[in-house]
């Protein structure tokens, strides 16, 4: 994705052409970029040879899941819907792990019937529920136990999951109790220790700390876990500073960890695989002059891209066609929704924009469409994929009639 002369291109197709052909707001993904990300991740972690399970909640588009499956990745799911979607996309049950704090009876039964690789349980009562269902079906179910390592991921508080005040996983004390319990169970097969300390982690130190904690607790269990599931959370760059998590460093610490612990590593990346593969193309409806700034009112809103409103996340905004005429007004990019949090950021120096001009909101491949809604009764945007110089619709624009 880059400018050629004045035009923003996705692979070899102009963003402005895509907007004209498919309408706006429009989610657009690059398969080349997705393939590169997967290759990059695999290369960086080659020395630990992990099972990589894509986190479906970051982007559950069936076509994208098919491509991800083709490139040898499994899936990490957090609901029966995601599990069904992963299976529909052709991902084999033996490459699927199921996480989440509130799996219902129906979800657990489905996962057991489908014989997925692992159910990662997050509480004592969930373990008891899985055991009860396994007994009913006279089977032995592979489970992991999610530890809450009480590690600060040093990311946004809203996407931090590994501290003791978070609802995820169990404390070290509870973990040891549950290990003892599951080891003795006739219907549970203890296979895995899992963790996931948060998302958009840019510093490898929290991971290093987490590995040290795992090391200690594994020693205490005196148990050889077949799998250690380290979760996802690897951060990407959302701005110009190009700072991303140093994957090589992280991978080296895991390698060190494996010298003492002979287990197969599972990784559950979402954002680091899909985040920078997608853009959101939007059209300016109005340029509204305000007191000290101009509001650029877009046809995309918080229902299409929730991250700024939900986490105060920043996504870069760029013009689809450069015109080299800068304003001296501050531009605040907002959507049409009746909420003051429906905004995408302010820019001091942006090119002059008028009605019908197109802009690009960058790096929306992860937690973009998956967090979208019909709020204000707005139909969901279309999604397209650029593959071998061709753009095709991978999710149709929702029709008004479907939601009225």
Residues designated catalytic = 338
Interface residue with ligand PLP among 99, 151, 185, 303 (CB under 6 A) is 99
Selected range binding ligand PLP among 5-13, 22-30, 102-110, 262-270, rule: CB under 6 A: 262-270
- Mark 124-153 with x for binding to ligand PLP (rule: CB under 6 A) and - for no binding: ------------------------------
Q: Which of 149, 284, 281 is nearest to 211 (CA)?
A: 149
Parallel/antiparallel/unpaired status of strands 7-10 and 343-347: unpaired
Binding of ligand PLP by 196 (CB under 6 A): yes
Binding of ligand PLP by 199 (CB under 6 A): yes
Minimum distance, C-beta of residue 396 to ligand PLP, in the bound complex (Å): 25
Binding of ligand PLP by 191 (CB under 6 A): no
383 neighbors 395 (Cβ within 8 angstroms): yes
Parallel/antiparallel/unpaired status of strands 2-4 and 7-10: antiparallel
Binding of ligand PLP by 368 (CB under 6 A): no
146 neighbors 196 (Cβ within 8 angstroms): yes
Interface residue with ligand PLP among 82, 107, 126, 268 (CB under 6 A) is 268
Binding of ligand PLP by 103 (CB under 6 A): no
Binding of ligand PLP by 307 (CB under 6 A): no
Binding of ligand PLP by 270 (CB under 6 A): yes
77 neighbors 91 (Cβ within 8 angstroms): no
- End-to-end Cα distance, the chain: 36
Binding of ligand PLP by 76 (CB under 6 A): yes
The kind and range of the H/E element at 310 are helix 307-311
Parallel/antiparallel/unpaired status of strands 390-395 and 382-387: antiparallel
- Mark 222-261 with x for binding to ligand PLP (rule: CB under 6 A) and - for no binding: ---------xxxx---------------------------
Contacts 24+ apart (CB under 8 A), 6-11: 6/321, 6/322, 6/323, 7/320, 7/321, 7/322, 8/318, 8/319, 8/320, 8/321, 8/360, 10/279, 10/386, 11/386, 11/389
Binding of ligand PLP by 271 (CB under 6 A): yes
Selected range binding ligand PLP among 106-114, 266-274, 347-355, 379-387, rule: CB under 6 A: 266-274
Minimum distance, C-beta of residue 289 to ligand PLP, in the bound complex (Å): 39
- Mark 5-44 with x for binding to ligand PLP (rule: CB under 6 A) and - for no binding: ----------------------------------------
339 neighbors 387 (Cβ within 8 angstroms): no
How far apart CA 116 and CA 83 sit, in angstroms, is 9
How far apart CA 99 and CA 261 sit, in angstroms, is 23
Binding of ligand PLP by 58 (CB under 6 A): yes
Binding of ligand PLP by 277 (CB under 6 A): no
**Main-chain phi, psi angles of 34, to 5 degrees:** -60, -45
Binding of ligand PLP by 383 (CB under 6 A): no
Residue whose CB is less far from ligand PLP, 159 or 297: 159
Parallel/antiparallel/unpaired status of strands 382-387 and 330-334: unpaired
Give the 3-state secondary structure of residue 22: helix
Sheet containing 2-4, strands listed edge to edge, beginning at the edge strand earlier in sequence: 2-4, 7-10, 13-14
161 neighbors 198 (Cβ within 8 angstroms): yes
Residue whose CB is less far from ligand PLP, 74 or 335: 74
Residue whose CB is less far from ligand PLP, 194 or 263: 194
Binding of ligand PLP by 206 (CB under 6 A): no
Residue whose CB is less far from ligand PLP, 30 or 160: 160
How does DSSP assign 63-92, residue by residue? HHHHHHHHTT-EEEESSHHHHHHHHHTT--
Binding of ligand PLP by 278 (CB under 6 A): no
What is the binding site for ligand PLP (CB under 6 A)?
Answer: 55, 57-58, 76, 78, 99, 196, 199, 231-234, 268-272, 366
């Amino acid at each position: 994705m880059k400018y050629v002369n004045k035009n923003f291109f996705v692979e070899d197709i102009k963003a402005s052409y895509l907007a004209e052909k498919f309408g706006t707001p429009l989610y657009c993904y690059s398969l080349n970029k997705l393939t590169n990300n997967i290759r990059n991740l695999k290369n960086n972690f080659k020395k630990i040879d992990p099972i990589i399970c894509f986190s479906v909640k970051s982007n559950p588009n069936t076509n994208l899941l098919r491509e991800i499956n083709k490139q040898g990745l499994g899936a990490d799911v957090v609901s029966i819907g995601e599990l069904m979607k992963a299976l529909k996309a052709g991902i084999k049950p033996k490459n699927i792990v199921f996480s989440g704090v509130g799996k219902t009876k129906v979800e657990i039964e489905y996962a057991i019937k489908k014989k997925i690789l692992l159910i990662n349980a997050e509480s004592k009562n969930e373990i008891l529920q899985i055991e009860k269902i396994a007994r009913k079906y006279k089977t032995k179910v592979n489970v992991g136990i999610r530890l809450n390592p009480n590690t600060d991921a040093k990311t946004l508080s809203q996407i931090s999951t590994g501290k003791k005040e978070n609802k995820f996983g169990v404390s070290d004390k509870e973990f040891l109790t549950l290990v003892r319990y599951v080891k003795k169970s006739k219907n549970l097969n203890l296979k895995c220790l899992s963790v996931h300390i948060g998302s958009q982690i840019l510093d490898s130190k929290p991971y290093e700390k987490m590995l040290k904690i795992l090391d200690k607790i594994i020693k205490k269990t005196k148990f050889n876990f077949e799998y250690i599931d380290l979760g996802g959370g690897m951060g990407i760059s959302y701005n110009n500073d190009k700072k991303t998590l140093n994957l090589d460093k992280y991978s080296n610490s895991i390698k060190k960890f494996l010298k003492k612990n002979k287990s197969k590593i599972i990784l559950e990346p979402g954002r680091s695989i899909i985040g920078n593969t997608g853009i959101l193309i939007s059209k300016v409806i109005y340029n509204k002059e305000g007191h000290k700034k101009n509001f650029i009112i877009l046809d995309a809103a918080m229902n299409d891209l929730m991250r700024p409103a939900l986490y105060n996340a920043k996504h870069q905004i760029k013009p689809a066609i450069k015109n080299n005429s800068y304003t001296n007004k501050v531009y605040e990019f907002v959507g049409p929704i009746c909420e003051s949090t429906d905004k995408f950021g302010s820019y001091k120096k942006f090119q002059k924009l008028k009605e019908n001009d197109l802009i690009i909101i960058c790096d929306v491949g992860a937690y973009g469409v998956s967090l979208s809604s019909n709020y204000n009764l707005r139909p969901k945007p279309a999604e397209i994929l650029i593959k071998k110089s061709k753009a095709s619709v991978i999710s149709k624009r929702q029709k008004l009639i479907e939601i009225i």
